[in-house]
């Protein structure tokens, strides 16, 4: 009897160890895949080209997945849903030209940064708005939930119009529904180059850095992503990807 009990105990321990192991070994949401949550309304970082999502982040994610021997899956969603998708374990990482902020760090971990960025102001050519100070009391378009949205709240007397897509804010500016758009510099340059009569103010609104958002419950994935990012930086691959999408002017 004693023997039987100890044999059962040992078996039970074995099972717990195995399942326990199984859990901690689970690096990603779906084995063999790296699921990236993004908002593909943000050229040149992520945007639609035909039925594909392309851009700097898409290529960085593909390179990270390759380093890790995983298949990349891209899930497009509203920008303000990405952090929730990461914390709920629906995606492995948010990669969306996402700025590291103190507030977001309360909910997710951020990888090492991979790009420097800033919020800039787009106005119509000949606008009276010629500096950040001149935004006081104006109507400003932003993309919902972005740092442009968050930081523009501090502009005195300003009215914020929040759009699901940055490009919708630009359209509103073109039709004089708003006075200015605050958005990240690279998408701003893309939108301005695609539309007549818009300019970007020389004075920047903020300085920021982009990183991948990863669940606080997955330190192992954070370490792997950082390792892969470091390799991409060292090998020059990261610069190569950026240069393909951003032509220095
Ligand atoms: N950098 C800004 C932020 O983190 C905007 C990012 C928007 N990204 C996007 N894929 N739409 O809030």
* Tens digit of each residue's pLDDT (9 = 90 or more) over 23-38: 445 899 999 999 999 9
Chain-centroid distance, C-alpha 126:
33
- The secondary structure of 21-73 as a DSSP string is HHHHH--SSSTTEEEEEE-SEETTTEEEETTEEESHHHHHHHHHHHHHT-EEE
* Cβ(65)–Cβ(72) below 8 Å: yes
Pull the structure tokens for residue 181: 């758009």
Q: What residues have CB less than 8 Å from 203, skipping those under 6 apart?
A: 121, 131, 132
Query: Residue 34 and residue 69: Cα distance in Å, rounded?
Result: 9
Q: What residues have CB less than 8 Å from 193, skipping those under 6 apart?
A: none
Give 80 Cα–ligand 1 centroid separation in angstroms: 9
Cα 101 to Cα 91, 93, 184, 194, 212: the distances in Å are 20, 16, 15, 30, 12
The pLDDT assigned to 21 comes to 46
User: pLDDT of 145-193, one tens digit each?
Assistant: 999 999 999 999 999 999 999 999 999 999 999 999 999 999 999 999 9
Give 179 Cα–ligand 1 centroid separation in angstroms: 21
Is any ligand 1 atom within 6 A of the Cβ of residue 206? no
Is any ligand 1 atom within 6 A of the Cβ of residue 39? yes
Range 42-61 average pLDDT: 98
The pLDDT assigned to 22 comes to 43
The three-class DSSP label of residue 222 is helix
Cα 201 to Cα 91, 133, 192: the distances in Å are 36, 12, 12
Residue 142, class by beta-carbon neighbours within 10 Å (0-12 exposed, 13-18 middle, 19+ buried)? buried
Is any ligand 1 atom within 6 A of the Cβ of residue 182? no
Predicted TM-score (pTM) of this structure = 0.90
Cα 32 to Cα 26, 173, 224: the distances in Å are 10, 44, 14
Task: Provide the residue count of the chain.
Answer: 249
Range 58-67 average pLDDT: 98
- The secondary structure of 128-178 as a DSSP string is S--SSGGGTT-EEEEETTSHHHHHHTTSTT-EEEEESSHHHHHHHHHTTSS
Nearest CA to ligand 1 atom 5: 146
- Map tokens 């609104």 to a residue: 205
User: pLDDT of 170-181, one tens digit each?
Assistant: 999 999 999 999
The pLDDT assigned to 231 comes to 98
pLDDT score of 20 more than 50: no
Give 21 Cα–ligand 1 centroid separation in angstroms: 36
User: pLDDT of 101-134, one tens digit each?
Assistant: 999 999 999 999 999 999 999 999 999 999 999 9
Query: Residue 188 and residue 58: Cα distance in Å, rounded?
Result: 19
Give 37 Cα–ligand 1 centroid separation in angstroms: 12
Beta bridge partners of 108: 215
Is any ligand 1 atom within 6 A of the Cβ of residue 147? yes
Is any ligand 1 atom within 6 A of the Cβ of residue 41? yes
Q: For residue 13, count other CB atoms closer than 10 A to its CB.
A: 10
Is any ligand 1 atom within 6 A of the Cβ of residue 163? no
Give 175 Cα–ligand 1 centroid separation in angstroms: 24
């Amino acid at each position: 009897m004693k023997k039987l009990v100890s044999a059962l105990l040992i078996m039970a321990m074995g099972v717990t160890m195995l399942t326990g192991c199984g859990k901690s070994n689970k690096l990603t949401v779906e084995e063999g895949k790296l699921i990236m949550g993004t908002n593909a309304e943000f050229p040149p970082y992520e945007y639609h080209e035909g039925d594909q999502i392309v851009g700097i982040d898409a290529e960085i994610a593909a390179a990270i997945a390759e380093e890790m021997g995983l298949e990349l899956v891209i899930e497009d969603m509203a920008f303000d849903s990405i952090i929730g998708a990461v914390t709920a374990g629906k995606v492995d990482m948010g990669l969306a030209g996402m700025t590291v902020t103190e507030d977001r760090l309360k909910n997710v971990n951020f990888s090492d940064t991979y790009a420097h960025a800033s919020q800039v102001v787009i106005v119509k050519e000949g606008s009276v708005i010629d500096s950040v100070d001149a935004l006081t009391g104006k109507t400003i378009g932003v993309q919902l939930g972005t740092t442009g949205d968050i930081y523009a709240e501090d502009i005195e007397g300003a009215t914020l119009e929040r759009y699901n897509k940055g490009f919708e804010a630009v359209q509103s500016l073109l039709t004089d529904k708003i006075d200015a758009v605050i958005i990240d510099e690279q998408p701003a340059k893309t939108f301005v180059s695609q539309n007549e009569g818009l300019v970007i103010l020389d004075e920047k609104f903020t300085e920021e850095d982009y990183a991948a958002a990863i669940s606080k419950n997955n330190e192992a994935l954070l370490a792997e992503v950082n390792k892969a990012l470091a390799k991409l930086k060292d090998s020059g691959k990261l610069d190569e990807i950026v240069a393909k999408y951003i032509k220095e002017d």
